Structure 1
Amino acid sequence: MIIRKRPIISWLLNMDNVEKENRFGVPMLANMQHFGYLSNGLQFLSEVRDTCPEWGLPELLMPSFEKVMAKSAKSFYNIDHQLFQEFYKDNVCGILLSRDCGTIIYGFGEDTLHVWLFREDNGLSNLYMYFYVKSTPNNVRQVYTWPTLTDDDQLFAGDKDERKQIYERLANKLMVYLAVKKYVKVETIVIPIGRTTKLDDKILGYKSKEKVRNESGQEVIVMDSRWFRKIVNDNEIFVRGFFRFQNKKDENGEWYKELIFVDSYVRYGYHRNALIEDNSDKE
């Protein structure tokens, strides 16, 4: 996999980047209302950039990390509003590189998640989506965007009914991703500029032989995750594995919560530590 240069990222991370050097914007659309809405979204991102937020390095999602996200998602539903508040308090923002979406830029206001989605087109970064999500105390979200944007065939492909779900799916992806980063022990690798990294040499237990080459112009963090768990061998009562929050103390003696995975086990059986393995990786 090659991580190529993305002008929108270079602009966000380099405050000395002058306007005439930028190669990003809004795609030319026949619907001028949609064009105007996305142009306003890009202007708002420019205003956010002017406040010099701590974007951090771009982060690349690996399949193993997304598997942990999928398995642990339900654990965060009941604390969704709490997470919104925590991320706002911590000034969380960042740049996420997703294989199936593009370049996702996000940041939090009070009880609000702002999302910009860029896609690359012949060396240009074009803004295809901007929306924000409001969180309510009863863990219900409200999405705000231009109501007919997903009807625009110049911006979206596929079934139009499915397009309308894209905002909620992307918001879920980001919230679970950030919650896993906060509560789960993860593996991270920083790939230097112009270097090729063989992931199975860097991540213990990684099953893929994939290589990642960084041609983006800045360092990139690869997000991976592996779980240590108990393997159980017994013929008694089988208990299915599950996620739960574990209360722990930090080095200052303050309590915090960490999401842990309790593996499937058999009562009164014997246990031994092992790395999680996915049978699909062996095929």
Structure 2
Amino acid sequence: MTYNDNQILRYLYGLDENRDYPQSIKRFLNSIGSIIDEDREAAIDELYRIKNNCKKLAVLSKSFVTAMDKSYMKFTQFHIDILAECDGENGVVKSPYFIEGCFVIYSIKNGSLSLWVFQNLPNANNNLMAIPTFYIVASPKDRIQGAGHQLDCMIIPIIDNLYEANLRDYIDMVLDYLCLRQWAEIEISEIQTKQKKNVKGKKISLIQNGISYFVFDSKWFTEICNNNEFIVSGHFRLQPYGDGTKKLIWINEFKKHGYHRKALIEKANEGEDFLS
């Protein structure tokens, strides 16, 4: 399934103007016997608010995610700041490590991050539909780096008897992506897709613009040091600038009185394709 075929992406980016996709989600839940209580209905209805109000789809490369993983738990000190800076933003993120067809939709409001975890599930006719499996609201409570960081979290399963062990990974992934996108020097390429649209009553089709998305890549450097010496690990630091802006910079691994050389965190293989 291409991005242009995914129902929730088509809904959010206005390719299916006449379709009420939140209602389609509710019909799917009724068809599988999942009760739509007040919390679930409110979570689904929130999608109306962000239709045609989303930043372009962000497709993360493997090297971009690797850079985030290498600084796991080091971004927690920036979570309050990034949510304040991106207040009112809505978007969609796709990671190469998500299962096939999985997207995370996010919305930032008043210091809280709301997430919808979408997966492709078969309906009664065995056709795949993009359905939210979990709705998550997270609010960071401090600027502590690492294990002591507190994050208030509300999780609403949208489908009965559904369990996923690593829901916190979705929260960390979106917050870390926002920090890097907003403050770090990153490599971005824009991809514009095309789609065919059949003309009703005629045996012709038109070529129209489809979903436009950004691919995020990283080429940050780290230091390779002599292992016989004490090494200070590489890390990101939020550096204020004189004009009131901030920039997330990579501080290389280093040690005193030792040699070092630069190396990429990860290189993409020659010709590797991160696009669907």
**Hey, which of these two has a bigger chunk of helix by percent?**
1
Q: Quickly say closer, same or farther: Cα 1:21–1:133, change in 2 above 3 A.
A: closer
What corresponds to 2:218 in structure 1? 225
The residue aligned with 1:152 is 160
Partner of 1:106: 106
Amino acid in the other structure paired with 2:34: N
Matches within 5 A, 1:236-275: 237-245=229-237, 247=239, 249=241, 253-254=243-244, 256-264=246-254, 267-269=257-259, 273-275=262-264
Sequence identity (%): 18
Deviation at 1:189, TM superposition (A): 1.7
- Aligned residue for 1:130, secondary structure, equals strand
The 1:275/1:123 distance shift into structure 2, 3 A limit, reads same
8 Å contact kept, 2:119–2:131: yes
Q: Which deviations, in whole Å up to 9, do the C-alpha atoms of 1:28-64 show, x marking residues without a partner?
A: 3323146x64333121211343xx53x2211112211
- RMSD of aligned residue pairs (Cα, Å): 3.6
User: Could you tell me which amino acid in structure 2 is paired with residue 76 of structure 1?
Assistant: F
What CA distance in whole angstroms lies between the structure 2 residues aligned with 1:2 and 1:11? 14
| Contact in 2 for aligned 1:7/1:24 (Cα 8 Å) | no
Whole-angstrom CA distance in 2 between matches of 1:2 and 1:39: 28
Distance 1:74 1:145, change over 3 A: closer
Residue in 2 aligned with 1:78? 77
Q: For the structure 1 residues 261 and 14, does the alpha-carbon distance in structure 2 shift closer, same or farther, using more than 3 Å as the test?
A: same
Deviations 1:224-262 (A, max 9, x none): 111134556x69745243114163637xx4452423130
Query: Quick one: structure 1 residues 281 and 110, their matched pair in 2 at CA, closer, same or farther if it must change by over 3 Å?
Result: same
Secondary structure at 1:84 match in 2: helix
Q: Which amino acid aligns with 2:140?
A: S
The AA in structure 1 aligned to 2:13 is L
Aligned twin of 1:128: 133
Take 2:11 and 2:159, find their aligned partners in 1: how far apart are those partners?
Answer: 30
Aligned length: 241
Matches of 1:129 and 1:21 in 2, distance apart? Answer: 17
- State the secondary structure of the residue aligned to 1:190: strand
Q: For residues 276 and 98 of structure 1, what CA distance do their matches in structure 2 show?
A: 18
Partner of 1:38: 40
Aligned mates of 2:129, 2:80 — CA distance in 1: 36
Deviations 1:104-152 (A, max 9, x none): 1101111211111222243522222222123324652222233xx3883
Partners of 1:268 and 1:177 in 2: CA distance? 33
- Picking from 74, 90, 93, the partner of 2:90 is 93
Alpha-carbon spacing, 1:111–1:166, altered in 2? closer, same or farther (3 Å): same
Secondary structure at 1:241 match in 2 = coil
SS where residue 46 of structure 2 aligns? Answer: helix
Letter matched to residue 93 of structure 1: N
Superposed displacement of residue 68, structure 1: 0.6
Supply the AA of the counterpart residue of 2:74: S
Question: What is the TM-score with the length of structure 1 in the denominator?
Answer: 0.69
Partner of 1:206: none
Distance 1:111 1:235 in 2: 42
Instruction: Supply the distance in 1 between the matched residues of 2:227 and 2:174 (Cα, whole angstroms).
Output: 40
